[in-house]
Amino acid sequence: MKKQYLWILLGCLGFVACKKLDQEPVSTATGNAVFGTESGLKLYTNSFYGMDFMPKHSTTKDAFSDYLAVRSVDDFLRPGAYTPTADQGPVNGWVWKDLRNINYFIANCNDPRVPAEVRNNYLGIARYFRAYFYMEKVKRFGRVPWIGKPLNVDDPALYGARDTRALVMDSVLADLNFACANISATNDPSRTLVTKYVAYALKSRICLFEGTFRKYHTELNLQSTANTWLNDAISASKEIMDKGGYSISTNGGAGNSYRQLFISTAPVATEVLQLTAADLTLNVLHDANWWWTSGTYGQKASFTRTFINTYLNLDGTPFTNNPGYRTILFKDEVKNRDLRLKQTIRSGDYKRTSAGAQVPAPPLFSYTFTGYQPIKWTLDDMYYDAGSLNNNSIPLYRYAEVLLNYAEARAELGLLTDADWASTVGTLRARAGITGGLTSKPTVADPYLVTNYFPGISDPSILEIRRERGIELSLEGLRFSDILRWKRGELMNLEWNGFYVPQLNTPMNLNEDGVLDVAFYQGTKPTPEVAGVTYVNVSATVSNAVNSQLLKNGTSGELTWMKEIARTWSDKMYYYPIPQPDLIRNPALKQNPGWGGDEIPVNN
């Protein structure tokens, strides 16, 4: 595995390319050395894994989502703070250099010295990456220009207009279909390479996105084509389900198997289709512990109580059916719940390792705003907390997502059966220790989900699949995409709330280990202080400045965070603006609706 992964890391060709569609492209590769042998094709396509748009060792993509309270409100959500002049960065902005490298390969991978089947395999890999690239651009900007070839400096397409969404996405689907049909590898033990089933997984993800986006974004006038995309999501998922040989991992039991997927160094190969690997000997490490446990380095990202409430009881009933759920204490609300909860946040008997010794580790308020402190990506040994030291692998595609894609697409088409439910959502909930509702789809809509998350949805199956998706795939970088496709941007305005505090000046034991952990006060800190207790000031002002951490009822209630900073959502925010410098260079692009200037039509 190490040799293979090093091949990916270091196997990059020195192609110089245009940074943007209106800048001069240059190619310095010589064709014979690369395109005349299989080893050359392999080396070139290995370079795609390191391109800017591809996910690396990041565990932080959901920091911009509805269910995490973070250190500061993103400018994108602050009224008037985000404009087309904002720097969108080298990865997310209107940047196209990686596309040229892919297109250059596709245009030149035609040397007859290499057998057609071999060439088509590598062309399939290249077209997989092009589909991935374009989907990221479409999610961010909506309509984009389809560029299917490397452009020369005098090519009119450098200053062309954007194409329709239908044209671009049909082209993306053609790339995916080619990749699925022609990539030859069906299994990669290292789980670092693109295989046929990885291509099907991307097709499943993209087709579900596009089908639901077209269904719920009626302003596009593409509703009539939504079902075609949903059927493609079903067929791609089913290909993996029937032929891929994957299964939901239960290694370690219901109380441990879920989290093992995210803290293991070696891939959990039964469930993970592809991952980004870490390796100490190659010094390929990442900073998950540092980001998720630091009070200064990361975003101090903490789950909100509104989201934590969606975790079911172990018997399969909604937690919010409990009459006293609004005022239940943290130590009690985490009991008898979906076992993924204790594998996702600090709670109960969670322990960490310090100098070889196991120590209780309740939520620590120097790291969390809400009390719901994530552990999904963090290793338990405190050694890893300071710096880029993590060696756990990061799954990019899991069989769990494939099952949920299949279930959601079937439900959206009104085709979901009890058998479908049992083999998808039921299987995932069984791993989580849930005992009820595993074999037949739900018949009653949960009012909590309708009221707090999806007021326009009445189908119980769709509601429960969305619940399951939020829980099973939390912190895996998919949440904001889901919000976009469901047209539920308003969720980004949800209150950042935390656990319930019954009264001031009373230390609380959060994990029932006999040691008091935290107390909340206003004004002057209580004296004498209790040893080991973290004291949190929830006064309206601290040092003559507005305090962001308060109690909802003044002296009791849920914790709240940063209510004084306004957040807003409007329909224009389903797409980012085209950066102003790019519009100046190429006015034919036009601006996205609502962002000012000469705007492109919202419909297709």
Residue 447 Cα to chain centre, angstroms: 26
User: 17-26 as b/e, with b when 16 or more CB fall inside 10 Å?
Assistant: bbbbbbeebe
Evaluate if residue 23 carries a pLDDT over 50: no
The pLDDT of residue 21: 52
The pLDDT of residue 30: 58
Question: Where residue 12 falls among pLDDT bands split at 50, 70, 90?
Answer: very low
* Measured distance CA(329)–CA(350) in Å, rounded: 17
Evaluate if residue 348 carries a pLDDT over 90: yes
More confident residue, 542 or 29: 542
The pLDDT of residue 89: 87
Helix boundaries (H) for 249-398: 257-263, 288-293, 305-308, 330-333
Structure tokens at 452: 């707090």
Question: Where residue 338 falls among pLDDT bands split at 50, 70, 90?
Answer: very high
Express each pLDDT in 503-535 by its tens digit.
999 999 999 999 999 999 999 999 999 999 999
The ranges of the chain annotated as CATH 1.25.40.390 are 186-277+393-485
The pLDDT of residue 543: 85
Q: How many CB atoms lie within 10 A of CB 418?
A: 11
Evaluate if residue 122 carries a pLDDT over 60: yes
Evaluate if residue 359 carries a pLDDT over 70: yes
Question: Where residue 160 falls among pLDDT bands split at 50, 70, 90?
Answer: very high
More confident residue, 21 or 211: 211
Rounded mean pLDDT, 158-163: 94
CATH class belonging to 1-52+96-184: mainly alpha
Question: Where residue 1 falls among pLDDT bands split at 50, 70, 90?
Answer: very low
Q: Can you give the pTM of this predicted structure?
A: 0.95
* Measured distance CA(323)–CA(327) in Å, rounded: 9
Rounded mean pLDDT, 37-44: 97
Evaluate if residue 205 carries a pLDDT over 90: yes
Express each pLDDT in 397-455 by its tens digit.
999 999 999 999 999 999 999 999 999 999 999 999 999 999 999 999 999 999 999 99
Evaluate if residue 9 carries a pLDDT over 90: no
* Measured distance CA(311)–CA(338) in Å, rounded: 6
Residue for token pair 């993996």: 240
Express each pLDDT in 251-294 by its tens digit.
999 999 999 999 999 999 999 999 999 999 999 999 999 999 99
Q: Burial level of 233, CB count in 10 A (0-12/13-18/19+)?
A: buried
Express each pLDDT in 54-108 by its tens digit.
988 899 999 999 999 999 999 999 999 999 999 998 888 999 999 999 999 999 9
Evaluate if residue 13 carries a pLDDT over 70: no
CATH class belonging to 186-277+393-485: mainly alpha
Q: What are phi and psi of 407, to 5 degrees?
A: -65, -45
Express each pLDDT in 212-256 by its tens digit.
999 999 999 999 999 999 999 999 999 999 999 999 999 999 999
Residue 253: CA count within 13 A, CB half-sphere: 1
Express each pLDDT in 374-398 by its tens digit.
999 999 999 999 999 999 999 999 9
Rounded mean pLDDT, 26-34: 62
